[in-house]
Amino acid sequence: MNQRSWELQNKKKESKSGQGVWGLAGSSLAILLTVAAASSAAKDAPREVETRFQITVRVYNYAGVASGTLLRAEEEGTRIFRKAGVEVVWLECSVSPSPEGQAIRTKEGNEADPSYSIFPIVRYDVKGNMHLLGTGFFITSTGLFVTARHVLKAPFDSEGVEQFPIGIVQFLPGGIYIKRPILRCTFHRTADVSVGVAAPITRNQDGTPLINPVLVLSFEPADLGARVVTFAYPKHANQILESTQIVNLEPTWYDGDIKEYYPTGRDRVLLPAPCYQTSIIMHGGASGGPVFSRSGCVFGLNSTGIDGTDISFVSRINEIFNLTIEGVSLGSEPPRFVAISELIRAGHISVIPPLLGP
């Protein structure tokens, strides 16, 4: 499956009504699928405005070069082109569906497109501009998702007061995307995992609720030396102009091996809960992204990495099991606090192998 470059154009408009950035309908956003070299902003721009050019480079890794080596080469290439006034979009075009033939699958066993169930998490500044915080992924079809604890903690100050709004950018088939605010979330006390709820949305035509694809989880431990992969949004470019913002998001596969397992945590401060050390080269923006075993199931999520090295750490997905989330309705019941374990046993969250017991 080819990797895609999503270019989001966020056109700013003055509003006398004081409406905030959370608009689920009538949004002034448009998405472009970057497929070829293109010049920047508009051909009809005034002559006094300097024009920069953008090219798209497709990378087919037939030689099997390590993902970290490719990324460093692309960063160096970007630096050289930028000196010449040229912006570069790198498209990692896989020669197999995913690294080493691994694939993400639904609970029915069908191969799935990861960009529809894995999404960027963004914050909004006072001018309505988007800024990437991390990556998240859906675990229920109605908008319940998982990400790293430190990603959803970012908006809050030391007193627990939210300083800026956050949301997700969900991609749909046909080159469409939508912005969904994050309504509420819950954090694990020690592990770098959290669960959030994205605002429900409906189709403008008939009011039908949007159902999102989900990933399948596994609470089975990963083996030392096993090959694992993540799919996340660390590669992005954010250009803020006078009346428009252009955010280029490039979801990308990164792979590595399980190097160590820390059943009681790596340390007492940053990673005091069970976690894995991997050789995945992790960059900012990948935090919270799912980590898959060869089965195609999610066993962990990205937590942190050491810059310039292939040393990174992955938190277990297991720690979401006893979290509870507010305002969940099961069937005809009124909204209440519901444990993730209850949602799993009720079949709303897919886990392989299935959980046993009450």
Q: For residue 7, what pLDDT is reported?
A: 52
Q: What is the pTM of this model?
A: 0.73
CA separation (Å) from 162 to 124, 152, 230, 303, 324? 12, 10, 29, 22, 20
Question: How far is the C-alpha of 197 from the C-alpha of 212, rounded, in Å?
Answer: 12
CB under 8 Å to 163, separation ≥6 — which residues?
155, 156, 157
Residue labelled with tokens 């749909």 = 172
What is the pairing mode between strands 86-92 and 53-59?
A: parallel
In degrees and rounded to multiples of 5, residue 38 shows phi and psi of -150, 150
Mean pLDDT in consecutive groups of 10 residues from the start of the chain, 358 residues: 50 36 30 29 39 64 63 83 80 49 59 85 90 94 95 90 92 86 94 95 85 92 94 80 77 92 94 96 91 92 91 97 88 88 91 73
Q: For residue 239, what pLDDT is reported?
A: 79
Q: For residue 35, what pLDDT is reported?
A: 27
